[in-house]
Chain A
Amino acid sequence: GAGVSQSPSNKVTEKGKDVELRCDPISGHTALYWYRQSLGQGLEFLIYFQGNSAPDKSGLPSDRFSAERTGGSVSTLTIQRTQQEDSAVYLCASSYRQGNTEAFFGQGTRLTVV
């Protein structure tokens, strides 16, 4: 596609429910990143994929958070038993490869846990 696509753009869920957030990277991009941004805060790194493997998942805040990537393309970020503090904009980015290249960001999924 023309850019990184994220869905849904907005998600409201009840506390305790599970949610899945989807990221479609730019075709041919092998590196994929997930970040989150709470209201008025900076970007917090969550996890990074190179192909289908995740060499750096150091930013996942708890074991309620998991992510997978299949076919070297689409990635899904899953949050189990959502809490109010999970409310944030979740951003996905992709790049042609790791390292010295620019990353392109999607517009994000705004998650609200009520």
Chain B
Amino acid sequence: DAKTTQPPSMDCAEGRAANLPCNHSTISGNEYVYWYRQIHSQGPQYIIHGLKNNETNEMASLIITEDRKSSTLILPHATLRDTAVYYCIVRADSWGKLQFGAGTQVVVTP
């Protein structure tokens, strides 16, 4: 799987949009971009995934650049409950495992 690079931490004000960057410059054509988050003392939670088109669901939006070498997860209106470690993962369709990196610790402040 391609390696991803994320900032170790970022702060966000409650009610504002949180934009979480991820670099995956070695991504291959058959690899998807996945985002998970882990709230303290809980198991990881799936957020969203995409191949090359932008995706949106009830939790977030995923913006993937045209060259697919980077992406941004957008939490449109951050709440205190969004404080968590966010993981960007690149995974081939045929692969089983998700390879978690260090992620980005996001702290939402009042």
Do A and B bind? yes
User: A: which residues have CB within 8 A of B?
Assistant: 4, 31, 33, 35, 42-43, 45, 48, 50, 55-56, 59, 91, 93, 98-100, 102-108
Within 8 A of A (CB), among B28-61: 32, 34, 38, 42-46, 49
New A-B contacts (4) at CB < 8 Å, excluding given A91-B44, A102-B46, A108-B43: A33-B98, A42-B103, A43-B44, A91-B43
| Chain A contacts for B95, CB-based, 8 A | 98-99
Q: Is A100's CB under 8 angstroms from B43's CB?
A: no
Query: Is the Cβ of A50 less than 8 Å from the Cβ of B96?
Result: yes
Contacts of B43 in A (CB 8 A): 4, 91, 93, 105-108
> What are 14 pairs between A and B in contact, CB < 8 Å?
A33-B97, A43-B44, A45-B98, A45-B99, A48-B97, A50-B96, A91-B44, A93-B43, A98-B94, A98-B96, A102-B34, A102-B46, A103-B98, A108-B43
Interface range, B side: 20 to 34
Closest chain A residue, CB of each to CB of B46: A102
Known contacts A42-B103, A100-B32; decide if A55 and B96 are in contact (CB<8 Å). Answer: yes
